[in-house]
């Protein structure tokens, strides 16, 4: 066997061991036996002429060579999965798998209800939801559709602007009962604030609106948006939320709505090669309509700002 025609199953075994750290754990994820995985890894090492793992007290440790080829193997794996998804939608029906990526906030708070309604109408479409904030996953074919809060710039993509999403400051009623509400931006210094730990997006947004923020100003810090929202709902302090999400909870009270509101554009994108894939485009058109309506519900009204 030469390196140019290596069985793909050998690479699958290699990636599984890289993820799981042992032959037995890799075998469980692949639905096979430990000896089979060991033979596949040994066969790959023989075909490539390199050692991929050394055995240590905590299991198998990847060699420098293994780390060097991991990204290429992962790219091949993503391409193979993408080819399967394309093939599943090649026939002009609505049977197939669509891989959707979005931020943690959109994926955890907004999309589940929309996707539930979609699958009620299109039960033969399987949806895979991936939560991250990467912008390059469509070009690398790691996903079919992306919901993003910034404009995609790659020319190979089909992108639709869905509208503006406003983000305001809120406090739970329990916090307000303990500490009250600030009346001015200067009053915020006397309150418990919820914000990012190492993340910079919120900082940049605030700076664009003339508000100087630093990490030390937050009494509760986390870089996971869903955890920040949970902290806000728990009454840990004053924090930001998409207005469309906050409006669902009557116990979340707006803070300084006339002085501090940020806005983000929401975009939907897919790769141009998928324009003839019916399951992908069916979901793309549905999300264009439904997320557009959500964007409208997430905009601050003049009445709220004057309240």
- Model confidence band, residue 230 (pLDDT cutoffs 50, 70, 90): very high
* CA–CA distance, 15 with 37 (Å, rounded to integer): 11
Portion of the chain with pLDDT greater than 70, in percent: 83
Per-residue model confidence (pLDDT) at position 126: 93
Other beta carbons within 10 angstroms of residue 83's beta carbon come to 11
Instruction: Check pLDDT > 50 for residue 134.
Output: yes
User: Which domains are assigned to the chain?
Assistant: 3-87 (1.10.10.10), 93-307 (3.40.190.290)
Per-residue model confidence (pLDDT) at position 209: 56
Question: Is the pTM here over 0.75, yes or no?
Answer: no
Per-residue model confidence (pLDDT) at position 200: 62
Mean pLDDT of 113-138: 86
Half-sphere exposure of 183 (CA within 13 A, CB side): 0
* Interval 144-202: pLDDT, tens: 999 998 888 777 788 999 999 999 999 999 999 999 999 988 888 899 999 888 766 66
Question: Measured in Å, how far apart are the chain's first and last C-alpha atoms?
Answer: 74
Per-residue model confidence (pLDDT) at position 1: 47
> Which has more pLDDT, 24 or 170?
170
Q: Work out the mean pLDDT of the chain and round it to a whole number.
A: 83
In terms of average pLDDT, the best of 57-61, 186-190, 214-218, 257-261 is 186-190
* Interval 31-79: pLDDT, tens: 888 888 888 888 888 888 888 888 776 678 888 888 888 888 877 777 7
* Interval 234-246: pLDDT, tens: 999 999 999 999 9
Per-residue model confidence (pLDDT) at position 90: 47
């Amino acid at each position: 066997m030469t390196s140019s025609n290596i069985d793909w199953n050998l690479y699958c075994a290699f990636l599984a061991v890289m993820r799981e750290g042992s032959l037995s754990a890799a075998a469980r994820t692949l639905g096979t036996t430990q000896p089979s995985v060991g033979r596949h890894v040994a066969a790959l090492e023989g075909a490539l002429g390199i050692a991929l793992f050394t055995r240590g007290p905590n299991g198998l440790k990847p060699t420098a060579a293994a780390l060097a080829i991991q990204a290429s193997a992962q790219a091949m794996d993503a391409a193979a999965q993408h080819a399967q998804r394309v093939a599943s939608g090649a026939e002009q029906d609505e049977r197939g798998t669509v891989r959707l990526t979005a931020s943690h906030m959109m994926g955890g708070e907004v999309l589940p209800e929309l996707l539930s309604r979609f699958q009620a109408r299109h039960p033969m479409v399987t949806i895979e939801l991936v939560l991250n904030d990467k912008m390059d996953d469509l070009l690398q074919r790691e996903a079919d559709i992306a919901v993003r809060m910034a404009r995609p710039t790659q020319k190979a993509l089909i992108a639709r602007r869905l509208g503006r999403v406003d983000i305001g400051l809120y406090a739970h009623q329990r916090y307000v009962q303990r500490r009250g509400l600030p009346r001015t931006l200067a009053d915020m210094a006397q309150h418990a604030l919820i914000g990012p730990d190492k993340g910079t997006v919120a900082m940049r947004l605030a700076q664009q609106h003339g508000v100087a923020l630093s990490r030390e100003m937050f009494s509760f810090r986390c870089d996971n948006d869903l955890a920040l929202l949970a902290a806000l709902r728990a009454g840990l302090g004053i924090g930001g939320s998409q207005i469309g999400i906050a409006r669902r909870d009557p116990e979340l009270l707006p803070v300084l709505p006339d002085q501090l509101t940020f806005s983000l554009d929401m975009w939907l994108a897919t790769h141009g090669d998928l324009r003839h894939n019916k399951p992908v485009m069916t979901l793309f058109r549905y999300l264009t309509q439904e997320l557009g309506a959500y964007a409208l519900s997430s905009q601050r009204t003049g009445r709220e700002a004057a309240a």
